[in-house]
Structure 1
């Protein structure tokens, strides 16, 4: 029933609740999650896990383990979210930042105008990420057939046994897959969240786990351990060794992937101040929606100003470190809240219910990393 308001005796006005439009389908959920999960880490920085594990074999195991742990956590977020309760030359740094701001402002403008168009564009940008990973995997397979697997002859050589070092590798393996959480911020705009979100979690994370693991295996076929550990752009080094003319291709694909991640982040993270404002936890301004385009303009503008400030201040990596800590606390609070509600409200209607063992396993992992 629509809320009503009496303005004078005998005159009652119906008030329509202003809400975000439900325009995100299952396909769009999968597309968003595939694009944003892991960001571009698999192309530039698989070095950290190898550095801490010391061996190819253990690093590949942890790539799979980290993906599975994120799958478990995503299912916990899903249940809680839909449960009804509360080139070689170095470019000029300034030019790079200005170019980044231009891309940011462009996609902010698009996100302000039409969410449905944004999700369609995102489907194309997601394809560039999957294509880049597939290209790496195919090139690795070709190299394996042509030159053999000398780099994989001793996969367990150099394996670390120190508990702290292994724990750090575990931390990187889990958080390398970060980013999928933004989809839970879009629940109000998903057409059927109870049905589509669990499916999107299973499909997208399964795709990403397989492709990330196979891409890392391809890296190990072409590159030595020392080359990977010394590189900050592993994907470019991979193609430099395999077939240099493909370097511009992978550069373009990775750049488009990064733009896709930005697009997802604008779409998802802007909904946090919007939701907080509606719940009375942030200024009322950020709960306002454009009546023409049905998108939260003030919340998007807030995110834009903050992003530009981080970009120009040079404090981006400090921010990343703080976000990593926040991510641990957030994940722990979600799992603990889920367990508490299972205990206190066992009969609460739940469109989706994750495995109880999943929640406990994820809690143990988070506490170990913390």
Structure 2
């Protein structure tokens, strides 16, 4: 793989000479700035739980029920989605300890299959996976925080987009300023959101014990038998569990990753599955199928029926969940693009580190800008299909890479070694879901695949092509140097290059 300086035409030494160093900068082995290892085991658990428990549990229940056909089948989808995510997370625990690099799927696909597949994942993550997920979370936050002001109708679209953009920018600023602030926000809001969902469950128990059991009768009635519909139901469930691999994006900032990465996964995934299952049971116990299907915000409809005068508290709970989820997603995803730029697959400017705060400021700001563009879309269901279909393809690629490296690199150190049964189950199930969804929503899946294919010529022109004209190199050099001066940033360990 070409060095960053070769790809972008910018010698990191030039940046170093332009920007004065600062006291308190953590030094790498070559004297350059580096991201610090500040994440503990509990921080890791908070990141996984905090990223997963976001907009999905409040948006997906009605969509899962719509495609599953019955409450019973929808509940099965939620449990099996959690089980499948747990299997995938265990496979990623082996990958993360075998390849202890930040970047998650990007690093694993690159190690297993080379530069081009890794770039294609980065390309799709940059413009579809990460910003779309962040946009959905920000829009859900905005809709719920505004709901008390418009109790009988939907909030104005302009107001929702403005609030969503504001919270995205606010959390980006926090992430730019201090990693410890990010982890404190994440820990606090993760605890708050789990508490909020447990309150939802216990409120439903009170409702049931008062004699209202009619909504739990005939749970399997109207269950669909269409494989395509079931696949889309799983998409909505898996979307709600998405984020279980986000801690792998920041492996290099995790203390003792060989121990803490698998421990964080094994603690967080059962917790999320249990909380999600209990929350869906609460929804199904209190609301009828028609009430759930006609609601764009199931949690709000639930609170209006069971909490009465205190119904305003549920939108607040939803806002807490989505706030913490967005914070964790911004933190982890920015490291993905930081690593990609460090490896020469994105402009060098995105891999620069703030010399005072030791945060990847340009990567965070770039991610914020892409997310703001996607806030203009309001078709959440279509966005879910786009995101989950494309993400499933690359998750399949990563788990296939695990099996491939078992065969081609058997002597590679593996602190965690999962049974081959787990990746086999994961591959078979995800393949079935992707194939079935192709028949049900060929347009959505086709657009996602076409966007992946578009990355191939981009890679050939901007990455593979070594003898670029001088004007391209000069433009890249000027852009990177301007970003370095503007944000007072340096490349990681720049003295080594």
Asked if TM exceeds 0.5, the reply is: yes
State the Cα distance separating 1:319 from its structure 2 match: 5.2
**1:256 maps to 2:326:** no
State the Cα distance separating 1:81 from its structure 2 match: 2.5
Residue 22 of structure 1 is matched in structure 2 by 37
Moved more, 158-167 or 109-118: 158-167
Alignment RMSD, CA only?
2.0
Residue 71 of structure 1 is matched in structure 2 by 86
State the Cα distance separating 1:62 from its structure 2 match: 1.6
Moved more, 260-269 or 244-253: 244-253
State the Cα distance separating 1:318 from its structure 2 match: 5.9
Equivalent positions of 1:162-241 (< 5 A) are 162-241=226-305
CA distance in 1, matches of 2:376, 2:218: 45
CA distance in 1, matches of 2:351, 2:384: 27
Residue 47 of structure 1 is matched in structure 2 by 62
Q: How many residues align?
A: 358
Alpha-carbon contact 1:73-1:359 (below 8 Å) kept: yes
Alpha-carbon contact 2:190-2:324 (below 8 Å) kept: yes
CA distance in 2, matches of 1:246, 1:201: 35
The DSSP-based 3-state class of the residue aligned with 1:46 is helix
CA distance in 2, matches of 1:224, 1:202: 34
Gaps in structure 1 of 5+ consecutive residues: 6-13
Alpha-carbon contact 2:70-2:220 (below 8 Å) kept: yes
Instruction: Compute the TM-score of the two structures, normalised by the length of structure 1.
Output: 0.91
Residue 135 of structure 1 is matched in structure 2 by 199
Moved more, 98-107 or 330-339: 98-107
Residue 109 of structure 1 is matched in structure 2 by 173
Seen in structure 2, the aligned counterparts of structure 1 residues 92 and 150 have a Cα distance that, compared at 3 Å, is closer
State the Cα distance separating 1:331 from its structure 2 match: 0.7
Residue 375 of structure 2 is matched in structure 1 by 311
Instruction: Compute the TM-score of the two structures, normalised by the length of structure 2.
Output: 0.69
CA distance in 2, matches of 1:176, 1:75: 18
CA distance in 2, matches of 1:168, 1:104: 29
CA distance in 2, matches of 1:59, 1:326: 23
**1:359 maps to 2:359:** no
Moved more, 236-245 or 171-180: 171-180
Quick one: which of 264, 287, 295 aligns to 2:351? 287
- String of CA shifts for 1:12-53, please: whole Å, max 9, x gaps: xx8325321000111011111111114222223301221222
Moved more, 338-347 or 30-39: 30-39
CA distance in 2, matches of 1:32, 1:307: 20
CA distance in 2, matches of 1:91, 1:174: 28
Gaps in structure 2 of 5+ consecutive residues: 1-12, 14-28, 100-107, 112-147, 435-497
Seen in structure 2, the aligned counterparts of structure 1 residues 317 and 45 have a Cα distance that, compared at 3 Å, is closer
CA distance in 2, matches of 1:46, 1:154: 18
Residue 322 of structure 1 is matched in structure 2 by 386
